[in-house]
C-alpha cells in the first residue's frame, strides 16, 4: 500500500487539528507537519507532499493566478480545496479550471476526506457531478456541438463508452459497474483516452467530449 503524504494549509490551528484527527486512523495517509503558507510548504518541508488540502481563505489570499502557476510548475502536486460552500458554483468552477483536482464542500461528511485524497492521488478528479456538468455547460454554451463521429475515429468503442460516462460525471466505480468490467480495466482505458486526446485529467476529457479543440476538427 503506497503512503500518501498530505499537507494541510488552513487559516487556523483548529482546522489543522480537526483534519489530523479525521484522517489519523487512515494507515495509507500521512499528515505532514503544519505549514502556514504554500511558500513554506514547497521550500521548507522536509517531506514532499503528494496532496495539499487547502482551505478557501488560504486560496483567496494566494490568488487564482498564483494557484494556476503552482499547478503548472508542480504537475505532480495535487490540490484539494475543502470547506467550500456548495452554492458557490462559480468559485468551484474557477478553482477547477486553474488545475485544482478536488473540491470538498462544507456540508460533506468527514469520511469524504480520505476518499477524496485517495481518488485524487490516483489521478482522478473529486468533484460533485452537478458541478462538473455546470463547468461543461459554461465552457461550451457558445460552442457548436461537434459530431461524435470525430471521436469514434480516435477512440475504440469501449473508450467511447467510457469517455461518455466521464462526461456525464461518473466515477470509476460507477463506470465499472455499468460496463461490467473491473475498475483496473477502467483506469487502463482512461489512461489510453488521455494519451489519444492529449488531455491531462477527467475535466479536460469531458470538455473535449463536448467540444473537441479546434485544431482537432476535420
CATH number at residue 86: 3.40.50.2300
Phi-psi region of 180 (alpha: psi -120 to 50; beta: other; left: phi over 0): left
Question: Exposed/middle/buried for 187, CB within 10 Å: 0-12, 13-18, 19+?
Answer: middle
Which residue segment(s) compose the domain that 121 sits in? 4-127
Do 172 and 108 belong to one domain? no
Do 122 and 143 belong to one domain? no
Q: Is residue 132 part of a domain?
A: no
Do 49 and 85 belong to one domain? yes
Handedness of CA 141, 142, 144, 146 (dihedral sign): negative
Q: Using one digit for the tens of pLDDT, what is the confidence trace for 109-120? A: 999 999 999 989
Do 209 and 107 belong to one domain? no
Q: Is residue 173 part of a domain?
A: yes
Do 123 and 36 belong to one domain? yes
Q: Using one digit for the tens of pLDDT, what is the confidence trace for 155-205? A: 999 999 999 888 887 888 889 999 999 999 999 999 999 999 888 788 788
Q: Is residue 196 part of a domain?
A: yes
Average pLDDT value for the chain: 80
User: What pTM value is reported for the model?
Assistant: 0.69
Q: Using one digit for the tens of pLDDT, what is the confidence trace for 13-31? A: 888 888 899 998 899 999 9
Q: CA separation (Å) from 15 to 9, 55, 124?
A: 9, 9, 25
CATH number at residue 189: 1.10.10.10
Contact between 207 and 141 under an 8 Å Cβ cutoff? The reply is: no
Q: 3-state DSSP call for residue 81? A: strand
Based on the structure, what is the number of domains in the chain? Answer: 2
pLDDT-derived band at 144 (thresholds 50, 70, 90) equals very low
Amino acid at each position: 500500500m503506497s503512503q500518501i503524504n498530505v499537507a494541510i494549509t488552513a487559516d487556523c490551528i483548529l482546522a489543522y487539528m480537526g483534519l489530523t484527527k479525521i484522517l489519523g486512523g487512515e494507515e495509507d495517509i500521512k499528515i505532514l507537519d503544519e505549514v502556514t503558507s504554500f511558500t513554506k510548504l514547497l521550500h521548507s518541508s522536509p517531506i514532499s507532499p503528494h496532496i495539499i488540502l487547502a482551505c478557501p481563505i488560504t486560496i483567496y489570499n494566494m490568488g487564482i493566478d498564483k494557484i494556476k502557476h503552482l499547478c503548472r510548475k508542480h504537475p505532480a502536486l495535487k490540490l484539494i480545496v475543502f470547506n467550500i460552500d456548495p452554492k458557490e458554483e462559480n468559485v468551484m468552477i474557477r478553482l477547477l479550471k486553474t488545475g485544482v483536482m478536488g473540491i470538498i464542500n462544507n456540508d460533506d461528511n468527514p469520511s469524504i476526506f480520505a476518499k477524496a485524497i485517495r481518488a485524487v492521488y490516483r489521478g482522478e478528479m473529486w468533484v460533485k457531478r452537478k458541478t462538473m456538468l455546470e463547468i461543461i455547460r459554461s465552457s461550451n454554451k457558445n460552442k457548436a456541438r461537434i459530431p461524435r463521429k470525430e471521436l469514434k475515429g480516435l477512440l475504440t468503442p469501449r473508450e467511447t463508452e467510457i469517455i461518455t460516462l466521464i462526461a456525464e460525471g461518473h466515477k470509476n466505480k460507477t463506470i465499472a459497474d455499468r460496463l461490467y468490467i473491473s475498475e483496473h480495466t477502467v483506469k487502463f482505458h482512461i489512461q489510453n483516452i488521455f494519451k489519444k486526446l492529449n488531455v491531462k485529467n477527467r475535466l479536460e476529457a469531458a470538455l473535449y467530449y463536448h467540444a473537441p479543440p479546434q485544431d482537432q476538427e476535420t
